[in-house]
């Protein structure tokens, strides 16, 4: 075990996978000499050379399309889109080409491609640069959607992404990049897709989160225990597609209450899907309606106070839990 | 020496006969598609290639079997010229399990990986960056193959057209950009939607660009030969604009309010099949009896294809969720 920040764990995953598999190469905006906007690819150009670490023009649709073509041609590219906010420009390639070619070609073509992007608000970057779109990508059949919350998961899941034969949308919350955590140094360390992580066991309520919101969930669980003597179970989904609903349902059947916390917008967000599935599969076990703690229904403002008022906080989670016990 | 003389001399009677056969096959195949559409056997959007046959036949004749092809949604002609089984192409149009895409793709999404035919793409210009990536893969894997990307004049207004041309030159990918300029992006004349000429755009990105008569199979063939040689020599991408014309509407639902019948008739006078037939007859390569024999052969193949499609089974409903993702086989 080595303690490292998530950005360093991601870099280790890329390094190890590039050493293991010569078909892997990286392309993206400023991933070379600049080292990546969040310093994930720092030093990789020097180590692997220009053939395998390629700086691209600012052309999101084009570079994702080139990645898809290279994947169809037998390579395993990774495209870094800098941030999820720019992925709108590549949406057609992701949705119409990467996600569908395997199905439309009756299984003849597959697109082994990893698309990495940073997501999340909270840095006062304004409405265009603060999206959380994990749920949007999870909407499309044919994609895999991964959103780690820790250094260890970041490494294990990114390495696993390169063992997949499909397009993996790999979403990294910017608040997680500097978080430190213990990471296994075994080069075969993988975290399987579709296996949620029970981060904290509890008996009174299940709090479900993913990506950045896992940390609000954990802090809320600690507050509930010390201040309210409520025992909260916290589940990190890790991947939204495939989705490990069995772990969530088993937990809800034990605790009889569920709170979903996410940075996505409430209206039409991924929490709605989780809530519906809990209702469908565990209705008789619920002692209260499923609660959702999400981003307020507004583009994220620049002003710090306004931005924090819009984003979900641990206090919001605690409040949602307490409401369940009062009703 | 004219194009016709040089290509005619190199190609000889047998290959020219094959070109003629393929163009006639595509023509008759498309007519049959139109018939099956009116009978309700082919559904969805159907874009016929009639009139543009010289492009498909001329381009495919220059490729090797390991080359990769991506094309647009008017893709039947390219599929047939590349040697896809007409039976399975027709079955796909009828949505049958025996279709080249198992009935999941339809007219606009034909695939046969065994022939390097990596699809028709129905989002305008979406496949251009894919062709850059395919070329990039070939180059990085040190393979001798190239990627041929076929698209229409309607693509040049899309951002991906420009992104792709730029990147293919930057990374010197063996990609042939083949623009079938049939004068209309659906119903809008390309001159009304583009402020310049298409080859000038390619030249602006520093790649060789030519414009050829796309209704002359030999002109297309010769331009493609140069493009292929350029790519195989490691010189990066090459751009061809082929001036062509579709006789039918954009799709089956096109009332053709944007052009006059006179215009269609004028282009029919330059028909690619008539021209090659005349060239071959002048050279003494084709007798009336031989032409008649070709016509009968084509009729038989198309008849058989329609019959095969008709008699093929529907995909099973239990296959609905097949091929969503590719997973390792569980043993």
CB–CB of B55/B69 below 8 Å? no
CB–CB of B63/B148 below 8 Å? yes
H or E stretch at A59: none
| pLDDT reported for residue B21 | 98
Instruction: Using CA coordinates, name the residue in chain B closest to A66.
Output: B133
Instruction: Let me know whether A276 and A221 are in one domain.
Output: yes
Q: Is it the case that residue B8 has pLDDT exceeding 80?
A: no
- Helix axes of B128-140 and A60-72: crossing angle, nearest 10 degrees: 50
Q: Which residue has the tokens 């090459």?
A: B238
Residue B253 — pLDDT band, cuts 50, 70, 90?
A: confident
Residue of B105, B123, B128, B133 best to disrupt the A interface, most CBs of A under 10 A: B133
Domain enclosing residue B190, as ranges = 3-309
Q: Is it the case that residue B7 has pLDDT exceeding 90?
A: no
Known catalytic residues of A?
Answer: 60, 129
Instruction: Let me know whether A127 and A35 are in one domain.
Output: yes
- The answer to whether the Cβ–Cβ distance between B326 and A102 falls below 8 Å is yes
Instruction: Let me know whether A32 and A89 are in one domain.
Output: yes
Count the residues in chain B: 331
Task: Tell me the two tokens of residue B12.
Answer: 């000889």
| Domain at A285, CATH number | 3.40.50.920
Residue B219's beta-bridge partner residues? none
Nearest Cα to A82, choosing from A131, A43, A20, A138? A131
Total domains present in chain A? 2
Count the residues in chain A: 327
For B185, the 3-state DSSP assignment is strand
B164 domain residue, yes or no: yes
- The answer to whether the Cβ–Cβ distance between B326 and A110 falls below 8 Å is yes
Q: Any CB–CB contact under 8 A between B133 and chain A? A: yes
- The verdict on pTM exceeding 0.90 is yes
Query: For residue B115, what are the contacts with CB-CB under 8 A and spacing of at least 6?
Result: B65, B82, B83, B84
Instruction: Let me know whether A149 and A21 are in one domain.
Output: yes
Task: Tell me the two tokens of residue B255.
Answer: 């009332």
For B211, the 3-state DSSP assignment is strand
Interface predicted TM-score (ipTM): 0.96
Strand order of the sheet with strand A258-265? A197-200, A232-236, A205-209, A258-265, A291-295
Nearest by CB: A65 against B100, B129, B328: B129
- The answer to whether the Cβ–Cβ distance between A57 and B327 falls below 8 Å is no
| Domain at A35, CATH number | 3.40.50.970
Average pLDDT over residues B273-278: 97
For B199, the 3-state DSSP assignment is helix
Nearest Cα to B181, choosing from B51, B90, B276, B64? B51
**Residue B107, CA distances (Å) to A230, B45, B176, B202 in order:** 60, 7, 24, 29
Nearest by CB: A72 against B130, B140, B324: B130
B328 domain residue, yes or no: no
B192 domain residue, yes or no: yes
Query: For residue B260, what are the contacts with CB-CB under 8 A and spacing of at least 6?
Result: none
Show which residues on chain A lie within 8 Å of chain B, measured between beta carbons: 25, 51, 54, 56-57, 59, 61-75, 77, 92-93, 96-97, 101-110, 141-142, 144, 165-166
String of b and e for A222-250 (b: at least 16 CB within 10 Å)? ebbeeeeebebbbbbbbbbbebbbebbbe
| pLDDT reported for residue B2 | 55
DSSP state of A306: H
Nearest Cα to B74, choosing from B54, B57, B90, B52? B52
B330 domain residue, yes or no: no
A102 domain residue, yes or no: yes
| pLDDT reported for residue B1 | 47
For B79, the 3-state DSSP assignment is helix
A188 domain residue, yes or no: no
Residue B331 — pLDDT band, cuts 50, 70, 90?
A: very low
Instruction: Let me know whether A112 and A243 are in one domain.
Output: no
With contacts defined as CB-CB under 8 Å, which chain A residues touch B134? 69-70, 72-73
Distance between CA atoms of residues A30 and A94, nearest Å = 21
Task: Tell me the two tokens of residue A198.
Answer: 């029970």
Q: Which residue has the tokens 């697109």?
A: A111
Give the least confident one: A295-309, B4-18, B92-106.
B4-18
Nearest Cα to A80, choosing from A53, A43, A52, A117? A117
CB–CB of A164/A18 below 8 Å? no
CB–CB of B54/B78 below 8 Å? no
H or E stretch at B140: helix B128-140
Residue of A23, A59, A62, A194 best to disrupt the B interface, most CBs of B under 10 A: A62
Nearest Cα to B50, choosing from B67, B68, B33? B33
Question: How is B230-290 classified by DSSP, letter by letter?
Answer: HHHTT---EEEEEE---SS-SSTT---TTS-HHHHHHHHTT-HHHHHHHHHHHTT---HHH
Domain enclosing residue A75, as ranges = 2-183
Instruction: Let me know whether A292 and A179 are in one domain.
Output: no
- The answer to whether the Cβ–Cβ distance between B166 and A59 falls below 8 Å is yes
Distance between CA atoms of residues A64 and A89, nearest Å = 10
- The answer to whether the Cβ–Cβ distance between A141 and B324 falls below 8 Å is yes
Distance from CA of B249 to the nearest CA of A (A): 26
Average pLDDT over residues B27-36: 97
- The answer to whether the Cβ–Cβ distance between B129 and A62 falls below 8 Å is yes
| Domain at B93, CATH number | 3.40.50.970
Mean pLDDT of chain B: 95
Distance between CA atoms of residues A271 and A280, nearest Å = 14
SS3 content of chain A, % helix, strand, coil (to 5): 40, 20, 35
Domain end call among A153, A183, A213: A183
Q: pLDDT (tens digit, 9 = 90+) per residue, B185-234?
A: 999 999 999 999 999 999 999 999 999 999 999 999 999 999 999 999 99
B250 domain residue, yes or no: yes
Nearest by CB: B140 against A57, A61, A75: A75
Strand order of the sheet with strand A53-55? A53-55, A24-28, A76-83, A113-119, A167-173, A144-146, A239-241
Instruction: Let me know whether A164 and A215 are in one domain.
Output: no
| pLDDT reported for residue B155 | 97
- Terminal CA-CA length for chain B: 64
A38 domain residue, yes or no: yes
Q: Is it the case that residue B96 has pLDDT exceeding 50?
A: yes
A69 domain residue, yes or no: yes
Instruction: Let me know whether A165 and A64 are in one domain.
Output: yes
Nearest by CB: B163 against A57, A68, A70: A57
A189 domain residue, yes or no: no
Instruction: Using CA coordinates, name the residue in chain A closest to B105.
Output: A104
For B135, the 3-state DSSP assignment is helix
Distance between CA atoms of residues B96 and B145, nearest Å = 32
- The answer to whether the Cβ–Cβ distance between B140 and A25 falls below 8 Å is yes
Regions in chain A scoring below 70 on pLDDT: 327
Residue B111 — pLDDT band, cuts 50, 70, 90?
A: very high
Q: Judged by CB atoms within 8 Å, which residues 151-210 of B form the interface with A?
A: 159-160, 163-164, 166-167, 170-171
Rg (CA), chain B: 20
Q: CA-CA-CA-CA torsion for B239, B186, B28, B86, nearest 10 degrees?
A: 70
| pLDDT reported for residue B4 | 55
Task: Tell me the two tokens of residue B251.
Answer: 């799709």
Instruction: Let me know whether A36 and A126 are in one domain.
Output: yes
Instruction: Let me know whether A46 and A155 are in one domain.
Output: yes
Instruction: Let me know whether A145 and A206 are in one domain.
Output: no
| pLDDT reported for residue B91 | 98
Total domains present in chain B? 1
DSSP state of A93: I
Q: Is it the case that residue B3 has pLDDT exceeding 70?
A: no
| pLDDT reported for residue B329 | 82
B160 domain residue, yes or no: yes
Instruction: Let me know whether A213 and A178 are in one domain.
Output: no
Distance from CA of B137 to the nearest CA of A (A): 5
CB–CB of B23/B49 below 8 Å? no
| pLDDT reported for residue B211 | 98
Angle at A60 (CA atoms; ends A58, A61), nearest 5 degrees: 135
Distance from CA of A76 to the nearest CA of B (A): 10
A190 domain residue, yes or no: no
For A221, the 3-state DSSP assignment is helix
A191 domain residue, yes or no: no
Nearest by CB: A69 against B131, B141, B159: B131
CB–CB of B23/B81 below 8 Å? no
């Amino acid at each position: 075990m080595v303690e490292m920040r998530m950005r360093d764990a991601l870099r280790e995953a890329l390094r190890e996978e590039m050493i293991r598999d010569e078909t892997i190469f990286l392309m993206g905006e400023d991933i070379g000499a600049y080292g990546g906007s969040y310093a994930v690819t720092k030093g990789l150009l020097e180590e692997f050379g220009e053939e395998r670490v390629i700086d691209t023009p600012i052309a999101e649709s084009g570079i994702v399309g080139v990645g898809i073509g290279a994947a169809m041609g037998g390579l395993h590219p990774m495209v870094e889109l800098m941030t999820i906010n720019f992925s709108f420009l590549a949406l057609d390639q992701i949705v119409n080409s990467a996600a569908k070619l395997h199905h439309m070609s009756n299984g003849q073509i597959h697109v082994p491609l990893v698309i990495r992007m940073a997501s999340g608000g909270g840095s006062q970057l304004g409405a265009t640069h603060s999206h959380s779109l994990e749920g949007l990508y999870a909407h499309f059949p044919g994609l895999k959607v991964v959103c780690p919350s820790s250094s260890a998961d970041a490494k294990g899941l990114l390495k696993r992404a390169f063992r997949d034969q499909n397009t993996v949308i790999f979403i990294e919350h910017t608040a997680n990049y500097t978080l430190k955590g213990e990471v296994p140094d075994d080069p075969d360390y993988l975290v399987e897709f579709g296996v949620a992580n029970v981060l904290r066991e509890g008996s009174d309520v299940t709090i479900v989160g993913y990506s950045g919101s896992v940390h609000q969930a954990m802090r809320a669980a600690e507050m509930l225990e010390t201040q309210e003597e409520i025992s909260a179970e916290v589940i990190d989904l890790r991947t939204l597609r495939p989705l490990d609903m069995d772990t969530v349902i088993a937990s809800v059947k034990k605790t009889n209450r569920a709170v979903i916390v996410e940075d996505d917008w409430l209206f039409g967000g991924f929490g709605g899907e989780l809530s519906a599935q809990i209702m469908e599969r565990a209705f008789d076990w619920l002692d209260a309606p499923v609660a959702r703690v999400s981003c307020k229904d507004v583009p994220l403002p620049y002003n710090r106070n306004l931005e924090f008022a819009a984003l979900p906080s641990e206090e919001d989670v605690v409040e949602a839990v307490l409401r369940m016990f009062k009703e | 020496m004219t194009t016709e003389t040089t290509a005619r001399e190199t190609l000889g009677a047998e290959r020219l006969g094959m070109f003629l056969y393929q163009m006639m096959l595509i023509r008759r195949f498309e007519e049959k598609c139109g018939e099956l559409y009116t009978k309700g056997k082919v559904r969805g959007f159907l874009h016929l290639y009639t009139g543009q046959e010289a492009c498909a036949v001329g381009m495919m004749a220059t490729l090797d079997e390991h080359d990769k092809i991506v094309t647009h949604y008017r893709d039947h002609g390219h599929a047939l010229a590349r040697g896809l089984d007409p039976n399975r192409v027709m079955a796909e149009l009828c949505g049958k399990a025996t279709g080249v895409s198992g009935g999941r793709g339809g007219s606009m999404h034909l695939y046969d990986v065994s022939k390097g035919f990596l699809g028709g793409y129905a989002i305008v210009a979406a496949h251009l960056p894919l062709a850059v990536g395919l070329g990039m893969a070939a180059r990085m894997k040190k393979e001798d193959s190239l990627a041929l990307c076929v698209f229409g004049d309607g693509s040049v207004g899309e951002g991906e057209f420009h992104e792709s041309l730029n990147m293919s030159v930057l990374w010197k990918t063996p990609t042939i950009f083949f623009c079938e300029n049939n004068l209309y992006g659906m119903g809008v004349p390309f001159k009304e939607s583009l402020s310049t000429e298409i080859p000038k755009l390619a030249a602006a990105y520093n790649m060789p660009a030519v414009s050829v008569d796309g209704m002359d199979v030999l002109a297309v063939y010769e331009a493609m030969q140069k493009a292929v040689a350029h790519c195989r020599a490691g010189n990066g991408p090459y751009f061809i604009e082929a001036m062509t014309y579709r006789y039918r509407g954009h799709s089956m639902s096109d009332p053709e309010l944007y052009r006059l019948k006179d215009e269609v008739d004028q282009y029919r006078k330059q028909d690619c099949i008539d021209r090659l037939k005349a060239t071959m007859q002048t050279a003494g390569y084709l007798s009336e009896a031989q032409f008649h024999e070709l016509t009968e052969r084509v009729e038989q193949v198309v008849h058989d294809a329609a019959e095969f499609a008709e008699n093929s089974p529907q995909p099973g409903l239990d296959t609905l969720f097949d091929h969503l993702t590719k997973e390792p086989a569980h043993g």
